[in-house]
Structure 1
Amino acid sequence: MSNPFARARYLLSAHTPRQLPPTSLKEVAFAGRSNAGKSSALNAICQQNALARVSKTPGRTQQLVFFDMPQHPNIHLVDLPGYGYAKVPKDMQAHWQAFIHQYFQTREQLSGLVVVMDIRHPLREYDLQMLSYAVENDLPAHCLLTKADKLSRGAAGNTLQAVRSELKRTFGDTVSVQVFSGESKQGVDEARSVLGGWLGIAV
């Protein structure tokens, strides 16, 4: 079956709530710490090289970036700002924390959250905060343990089991997790299947 995400394209960027696009039926948001591999994951899922910009500079994404899908006009993919160790001014951090908190609380069409984590550094404070936003707002959440190609299969499997256990202990059964590599394309089909289920589209 063809990949329904392959024709995704840039729509707009929002820096404030009023810049958000009008209500659509469904959208899925992607979150991740700086340099966790979020842009690479989006590009791999959408079979594109530069849909989401891959930057060597952490924290480059300064807005909520929306992508639409021409064959599914009522669906958006949303790239959230990547923060963590990025050198972002305190007032900017406060702005984004308030904006994203409001986004999760009021964006009725938000259908799920993908949290992208470097498999070598999972479940950092930012990751747990984003997962908490999802769980508190009754949203399904799915974790991608990216850069799995950097570890042996055994080490990646051990990390997956450890993260799965910690997620279950912290959030119950509301958060799922998988290994992923934008480089080797490991786990790409599984991720598309999760998104398709949330969005109600065949994958």
Structure 2
Amino acid sequence: MAWILLLLLPVACLQAGNSAGHSRETGFGVIQLANLSGVQGGSIEIPFSFYFSWELAEDPQMKITWRWKHFHGEFIYNSTPSFKHEHFKDRLVLTWIQGRTSGALRILNLKENDQATYFCRVSLQTTEGMKIVQSIKGTQLTIFPTGSTTTRSPSMVTSAMNTAGIKDTECHRSASLVNLGAMVGVAVATAVLITPVYVLMFILWWKKRPAD
């Protein structure tokens, strides 16, 4: 699922402005979705990817860490050495393979107070030394209560149906008026064309009738 989301990241999300103060021209950054939402009790995956132009050391020692709430917020996850914040005990799973430049952080059994902004931070050893890159804006996670939906309320649906019904009625009424007008027009045109013919026939008959 995470890999599919990464492939579908819109161009708008692939902005270097969501990396630690650098643009893509500088050659490094972290990419995250701006917003995600989940439901209490469910789970959510926060996809991420990163890029860089440095030459990696023989042993790059890539490490993924996550912060929450704000850019300098508490660390909630560390891939090496393994660490998970007490608030997320047994609820965090990192989908990532050492050496890959993309993955996802999965949060299980979502709680109301999980609603926050999450920031991915990447550390890697290069020929120029240890480099660290972190997302600036992160991903804002919104949590909805269990059973909540994003569908329109019944009143809105009813209103829409009523409006549609009125429009349909008006359309049928307009169509009926058009048909009636067309029929009247044809009748008038027919009368205009036929009347002179009957008048002419009457005059000819009148002239040929025998005198008294």
* Same topology, TM > 0.5: no
Output the TM-score relative to the length of structure 1: 0.23
Q: Between Structure 1 and Structure 2, which shows a larger proportion of strand residues?
A: 2
Bigger radius of gyration = 2
* TM-score, reference length from structure 2: 0.22
